[in-house]
Amino acid sequence: MPGTVLRAASAIEETAPLAGMEQPPYLNQMVLLATSLEPRVLLEACRAIEQREGRERAERWGPRTLDLDIVRFGERRVEERDLIIPHPELPNRDFWQRELAELRPHER
C-alpha cells in the first residue's frame, strides 16, 4: 500500500470460527502499520487485497478465506456505516487482545 510501512507482526494463532460458523479454524495475525492513508482509504486498500485474493462477500458473518480488519487506528475514532474504529468487537476477542499486547512494544 502506498504510504504504508509494516512495523511489526504478531505470531500467527489458530482460532475456532466465530459464532459457530461451519468452516475450518482461522489463522489470525495482527500487524502494526505506519501509514499516511486515511482510515477510509486504508479500508478500501484492504478490501482490494481481499478481492484480489479471491474473497467473496456473499453474506454477513459468512465463511471467508481472508478477512482484513482495521482494529485500531492510533487514538482515532471513526463511526461510519461500514467502518467503526476501534473495531466494536475488540473487547470481545481474546486473540486480538493477545496480539495487541505482543505489538505494544513496537508502538511509538
Residues classed as catalytic: 55, 64, 67, 69
Candidates 76, 13, 67, 75; CA nearest to 43 is 67
The residue behind cell 480488519 is: 69
12 SS3 class: coil
Q: In the beta sheet, which residues pair with residue 35?
A: 4
Distance CA 82, CA 78 (A): 10
CB 29 within 8 A of CB 12: yes
32 SS3 class: strand
